[in-house]
Amino acid sequence: MYRELLNLISSREWALCFIALLFLIWSLTKPGIREGYRGLMRAALNRHILRFVFSFVLYAIPLVYIFHVVEIWDTKMSKEFFLWFLFVALPFGADFIKHSVKNKDKPTIRSRLKGVLVFSAFVAYVINRYTFHFVVEVILLAVLIFFTLMDEYAKYYDDSGMIQKLTSPLLLLIYSLTLFFSIKLFIENSSKFDIYESILEVLMPFIWTILYIPLVCFWRFYSAYEFLILRATHNCSLSKLEYSRRKKEILKISRLSYSRLNDFDNHYFHYRYLLSPDGDFDRVVEAYRNREDISYLLNDEGQIMEEA
């Protein structure tokens, strides 16, 4: 089992691990970077992040078991699932949670699903499956990192633009050659394809993302709910009973719907001090339940009138 898992890791991934290990060893010799690692560890161990990861694990275990029972899941999918979690699931969830708290336009699910298809069909399958010898991969990665760092440095410190004139074409050439030879290997080995396995390998990250959406929606609602509770109880000397009552009232009016919670927050709670001189919580809840028209409190642009 252990040997089988090791064989799933491609030479490109071993090369990435080798380069990352070298960088880690070098960075640990720098006091400032060591302190940054401590801060990163503290952030990673934040209870909210741990809750999200723990809920994801609990959500994923029965799904993986079902896939295993119907003979869709096998050991080879473990790596793809881990990569999908790092590069698709975490950013996807973080974007939705961030936008729900800041009340901005959230990224559309459709656009995310398109990105997942590109990730699974191209990056995770073609590029990652057809790789070169370990030594070639290490040299290729080292050259890529060197010229990428030079290119980033030039953006901020090279006013003449001479460095970017050198690095940009070189990076384009390296990426193009890597893509060319990867696709060449892909075509040469196309006769060995197992059609069912290939299609399944491409579609599984897409299926995982669709099954992941209910969990993301739950966390989007929960994050917006907790943020609203924080604001509804800020600078208030509340008893535990009153604090609990306010939480229940917000749950009742939201009916576990993010859109209703967002509507209450944006159109009523935001104007609580206009509805009541002291921003009375119950007055705002009553206004929302009765769907009171508060347009008279706002100007033509939907902003709070100064006189109000």
pLDDT per residue as tens digits for the range 124-150: 555 566 677 788 888 878 887 887 777
Q: Which helix (H) or strand (E) holds 31?
A: helix 31-44
Which of the listed ranges 159-163, 171-175, 208-212, 270-274 does the model predict with the highest average pLDDT? Answer: 208-212
Query: Quick one: which of 187, 204, 189, 14 has its CA closest to 124?
Result: 204
Name the residue with tokens 């939907």: 302
Taking residues 102-106, report their average pLDDT: 53
- What contacts 109, CB < 8 A, 6 or more positions away? 213
Q: How far apart are CA 216 and CA 99, in angstroms?
A: 12
Kindly tell me if the per-residue pLDDT of 285 is higher than 70.
Answer: yes
Give the domain ranges of the chain.
Answer: 2-216, 233-297
Q: Which helix (H) or strand (E) holds 134?
A: helix 134-157
SS percent in the chain: helix, strand, coil, step 5: 80, 0, 20
Higher pLDDT, 121 or 283: 283
Q: What is the 3-state secondary structure (H, E, C) of 197-239?
A: HHHHHHHHHHHHHHHHHHHHHHHHHHHHHHHHHHHHCCCCCCC
pLDDT per residue as tens digits for the range 221-261: 888 888 888 887 777 777 888 888 888 988 888 888 888 88
Q: Are 222 and 258 in contact (CB under 8 A)?
A: no
Q: How far apart are CA 50 and CA 38, in angstroms?
A: 17
Kindly tell me if the per-residue pLDDT of 267 is higher than 50.
Answer: yes
Q: How far apart are CA 238 and CA 168, in angstroms?
A: 59
pLDDT per residue as tens digits for the range 1-40: 556 556 667 777 788 888 888 888 888 888 888 888 888 8
pLDDT per residue as tens digits for the range 50-87: 888 889 889 988 988 888 888 788 777 777 788 788 87
